[in-house]
Amino acid sequence: MARKSCFEVTKSYFIPMINIIRYKDLGNADYGWLNAHYHFSFSHYYNPERMSFGKIRVINDDIIQPKSGFPTHAHDNMEIITYVRQGAITHEDNQGNKGRTAAGDIQVMSAGHGITHSEYNLEDTETRLYQIWIEPRELNVDPAWAAHEFPKGPVTDALPLLVSGDGTAPLHIHADARIFGGVIDADQKLTHKTAGSTYILVSSGQVDLNGQTLRMGDAAEITDESEIIFQTLDQGAEILLIET
C-alpha cells in the first residue's frame, strides 16, 4: 500500500469518549464512475491515524455512477457489508449468487477462504452506499452471500438490529459485531444502549449527539459509554450504528 497520499489528512474533533469525524475530512478519490470517501486508509489513501476502529477495517462512502461499477475481483477472510442508501447495487459471484439490493436494504458477504464477485449499478441514477469491512472471528469459512429487505418506516423506540454475528439478526456475519440502523423522524429523541465500541454513521439528515451536530456523511467513534442519546433536528435523520 502506498505510504503517501495527495488527499487531505483526516482531522478529528474530540470531546470526552467521542471522536467526531467530519465528511469533509475523509479521504477522497474521484475516478469518474466512482466517487469514494474513505473513513479509514484504503487504496491510495493512507493515514496512519485512520487504520481501523475495533474490528472495523474499512468504511467507504461510495457514489457510483449509472451503468458502472466494480468488475469481478477477489476477496478472502473478510466480512463485507453493503448498506444501500440511494439507488441499488447488483451483485454476482462465483458461488452462484446473484441479487439486487435497493435503498434501505443490506447485503452481506463472507469472503471466507476465497470468493470472486462483481458489484454494478445497473440503474439509471446514481447509487450511494456504505461499504463496510469487518475482520472475521474465524478464518477460511465457506464463502456466502445474503441480502435482506428492511421496513422503510421511521423507528420510534429503538434502532432495529440488522446484522450480527450471533444469530439474532436477519443477516449473519462471522464476526463479533452488530449493526443497527433506521430512519428517525424530525424532533425525536432516541436512546441506544451500547455493547462495546460504537461507530456511528449519519446517512441522511442531521442529529444532535451530546451537544455536537452531525450532518449527512459525518461519523462518530464512541468508547466507554453505556448509552448514546440522539436528538434529531427539524429534518430527521437516517443512522447506522456498528458495534464491535
Predicted pLDDT of residue 195? 84
Q: Report the distance separating Cα 230 and Cα 130, nearest Å.
A: 21
Query: With pLDDT > 70 as the criterion, what percentage of the chain qualifies?
Result: 93
Structural domains in the chain, sorted by start: 13-243 (2.60.120.10)
Between the CA of residue 110 and those of 132, 147, 165, 169, 242, what are the distances in Å?
A: 12, 12, 11, 15, 17
Predicted pLDDT of residue 234? 86
Pick the range with the lowest mean pLDDT from 33-37, 106-110, 212-216, 223-227.
223-227
Q: Report the distance separating Cα 133 and Cα 106, nearest Å.
A: 13
Predicted pLDDT of residue 237? 96
**Position 11 confidence tier, pLDDT thresholds 50, 70, 90:** very low
Beta bridge partners of 197: none
Structural contact between residues 44 and 69, judged by C-beta atoms closer than 8 angstroms: no
